Structure 1
Amino acid sequence: MAEVYTNLKKTVLTLIEEKSFQRLRDILITMPPADIAALFSELSEKSLPLVFRLLPKDLAAETFVEMDSDLQHHLIQGFSDAELQAVVNELYVDDAAALIEEMPANVVKRILRQADPETRRQINEILKYPEDSAGSIMTTEFVSLRAHMTVADAIKRIRQLGVDSETINACYVTDDGRRLIGVVSIRTLILANENDRIEKIMNRYVVSVRTTEDQETVAKMFAKYDLTVLPVVDGEGRLVGIVTVDDAIDVLQEETTEDFEKMAAITPTDRPYLKTSVLEIWKSRIPWLLVLMISATFTGLIISHFEDALKTYVLLTAYIPMLMDTGGNSGSQASVTVIRGLSLNELEFRDLFRIVWKEFQVAILAGATLAAINFVKLMFFDQVTLLVAFVICLTLFLTVCVAKLTGCIFPMLAQKAGFDPVVMASPFITTIVDALSLLIYFRIATMILGI
């Protein structure tokens, strides 16, 4: 695929240089919108508006949605009012709302000014919902049916409204008060007798979400129930919109990226790495680095406190990095496993004691294995005394145990306290375990070696 894309890119660039726009258009209309958007990201700012204007109206709108916000902004600045109006009115409402959230205020005013009154009303309706909620990612363009309709009436309505709807695979049934009462698939409608009533063939059990539900929870429901579309209702059970599977995938990708950034002690950002300035990257990283640097001073205080002991047994200093790194790695393994379980709703706070017991057993096995192998190394390769080897191996064993328990408990406590458990991942766990491993090391050395 990479080779095909490279050859295609060369062909497009050649056609642009030769001004063979009809041949270029013939190629573009055969490509998926996502691939066209990726190709456009490789074009110069001068060529982009010219090539974009070659696309048919519907394909142009679909491609525009797939482009990143910087390219969208660049195109909008070059659009005439008529061109902007054509693109905006071809967008689905949720895509138009997402576009507005990414644009500067002056561009937003221009977009809304070019949208037709009904589209503008629907966009404003979506924008009033909390950020990262089901209401903020739903679309209001869907087909609803009534229970008293016949199959023939329903199909006629779908033909009338379906062209402007994001999907018709599932059509939701509402009562006179717009309350959600059922769902019927397009497959069921086509295979049913045209005189059957919708109430006879619809499924009355409908999985739905409230407008205020968190978008990550919404996205996970798609995987849990094998859905392609999910209805969104208000506090009174009235159908106000739908979320489609493509939006759910975008949410999962966004949330996963955010979790990775938090686990690496980076403030999350929506911009791609290569599109992010050095100053923005610095701003996202430095607060966490400052916090971790200050917290890491505790390890320095511990070492300073036992400075006399280290002077007596200088050899002990050589094994501090190994003990701290092993403890940090052990804690990270436990924390990442628990955090992932929490994010997938596989674990709850009530499972805390079961988790602790399981991690404790794992810690015993892992700690004993590492201590035994390390003991052999210390005695036969490093040739330290028996007591020193015993101190190091006992510390290693206890450090692994403490690290794994810390790694599994802290994310659970963080979630219970209302914090994102992801922030208790690698950096914080490592800092905490480093301090604990040093305390254990020096206490054991003091007791056994008498220093």
Structure 2
Amino acid sequence: MAERAIVTLEETLTALVEGKKYTTLRDILVTMNASDIAALFEEMPEAKLPLLFRLLPKELAAETFVEMEPEAQELLIQGFSDNELKDVVDELYVDDAVDIVEEMPANVVKRILKQADPEMRKMINEILKYPDDSAGSIMTTEYVSRRPVMTAEEAIKRIRRTGVDKETIYTCYVTDNNRKLIGMISIRTLLLSEDDDVLEEIMESNVISVNTLEDQESVAQMFAKYNFVALPVVDQENRLVGIVTVDDAIDVMQEEATEDFEKLAGMTPSDKPYLRTGVLETWKSRIPWLLVLMLSATLTSMVITGFETSLAAYSALIAFIPMLTGTGGNSGTQASVAVIRGLSLGEVEFTDTVQVIWKEIRVAVMCGVTLAACNFVKLILVDRMLFHNQAVTIPVAAVICLTMVCTVICAKVAGCVLPLLAERIHLDPAVMASPFISTVVDVMTLVIYFQVARVILHI
């Protein structure tokens, strides 16, 4: 139903544009949310975008512009007059302007900065100096701050005069004459306080803040942990330089989750939507990992080659290699994903390695024994009795099932240790996820398989 409604709306807007019913069109658009308008514009012909965008009121136009994809933003900017571009830039919050500048080509950036007022230009350039993926790179400098000697009445009056230009006014930060952060107070507390209450007496002095160089993923985790609406950002001398708002934290969480999924799948992360990423660019992001994994898989071939004589004597063993390697890979992936999630949420640290390994060993023993028992029943009842595969003897079944137990244990230990080691040496734990772990576990499984066969079957 939702998809059908969107299609109907698109058709309605298209009909209104073609019929030049601009007043009706504007009346419809102003009732919509900016993100919905941006999504709708994405489906409209590019030639219609400038006309549709010009129908929006100034503030709604700026909000919609922020929600649009970089390609559509660039298209609009190229069609804007200098005055139109200035109107949009003037309505943007600094952090949104920075995000747009980072995505645009140099010639477009030059136009944007040229139309920005000197103060906006200074703030944009200041934020651009911070490293990518740092708190400084996602913060905004448009926040409410007051001096500790002000009264609640004075603070509220000042917020009324200046709050319209701030990204959020729900939290007021208290700073001294050197801009050092000494406290914070919510707008709720201000409204419920007496007019002559002094801020330093009613403020919260234990303020949680982050440094400008703090990793943005850690900052996003703090929002989830403390339920913040905004988080102050300070420099090395504890001077307040900006705030990170919850909408920016949500964007970071989405970006980091997408990046981790791509690494889990053995791909180089991309910041473009799937359908907007070219075939050549997609090939470049995937082929390095495929080459590495293909070459690493030669280890598996080397192990099999080394046991050719054993396999020739007991050909029945060959049929169960895929099942054992697949089970090992799945077991390792389960452990690695659980540990990677724990690391990303701050639930697990490298110092917890022994505890994590001990837990995974106990889980692995239970999983391995359960799988082996079920597999033994299946080998005897199905393979031997039902399908009359006489090569599946009791000793062969014992080899397969014992290998299953050992493989699950080794795979889960490897799956939990490798991400922890990656975190320790400051690599992304997601790199140690399923593709890499599966290759390692495949080799371990085959070595265990043939060694167990050699002991039990005397080959």
Structure 2 residue aligned with 1:430: 438
Output the CA distance in 2 between the equivalents of 1:223 and 1:444: 48
Counting matched residue pairs gives: 451
Output the CA distance in 2 between the equivalents of 1:174 and 1:417: 38
Identity across matched positions, percent: 63
Output the CA distance in 1 between the equivalents of 2:400 and 2:218: 46
Offset, 1:313: 1.1
Give, as a single letter, the amino acid of the residue that structure 1 aligns with 2:432: M
- 2:139·2:242 contact (CA, 8 Å) conserved in 1? yes
Output the CA distance in 2 between the equivalents of 1:120 and 1:50: 28
Offset, 1:138: 0.5
**Does the residue aligned with 2:172 lie in a helix, a strand or coil?**
strand
Offset, 1:6: 3.0
1:47-446, aligned counterparts within 5 Å? 47-383=48-384, 384-446=392-454
**Does the residue aligned with 1:181 lie in a helix, a strand or coil?**
strand
Output the CA distance in 2 between the equivalents of 1:182 and 1:417: 36
What CA RMSD, in Å, does the superposition of the two structures yield over aligned residues?
Answer: 0.9
Structure 1 residue aligned with 2:387: none
CA deviation digits over 1:109-135, x for unaligned, max 9?
111111111110010010001111111
| TM-score, normalisation: structure 1 | 0.99
Offset, 1:430: 0.4
**Does the residue aligned with 1:46 lie in a helix, a strand or coil?**
helix
CA deviation digits over 1:288-329, x for unaligned, max 9?
111111101100111111112111111111000000000000
Output the CA distance in 2 between the equivalents of 1:83 and 1:113: 13
Offset, 1:386: 0.9
| TM-score, normalisation: structure 2 | 0.97
Give, as a single letter, the amino acid of the residue that structure 1 aligns with 2:48: S
Output the CA distance in 1 between the equivalents of 2:45 and 2:6: 17
| Runs of 4+ displaced beyond 6 Å | none
Output the CA distance in 1 between the equivalents of 2:20 and 2:454: 81
Output the CA distance in 1 between the equivalents of 2:216 and 2:458: 58
Output the CA distance in 1 between the equivalents of 2:143 and 2:397: 71
CA deviation digits over 1:16-35, x for unaligned, max 9?
22221111110111111110
CA deviation digits over 1:74-100, x for unaligned, max 9?
111111111111111110011111110
Output the CA distance in 2 between the equivalents of 1:204 and 1:8: 51
Offset, 1:2: 3.5
**Does the residue aligned with 2:297 lie in a helix, a strand or coil?**
helix
Give, as a single letter, the amino acid of the residue that structure 1 aligns with 2:73: Q
Offset, 1:233: 0.7
**Does the residue aligned with 1:126 lie in a helix, a strand or coil?**
helix
Output the CA distance in 2 between the equivalents of 1:97 and 1:157: 27
Output the CA distance in 2 between the equivalents of 1:8 and 1:44: 14
Output the CA distance in 2 between the equivalents of 1:220 and 1:4: 36
Output the CA distance in 2 between the equivalents of 1:14 and 1:189: 51
**Does the residue aligned with 1:227 lie in a helix, a strand or coil?**
coil
Offset, 1:3: 3.8
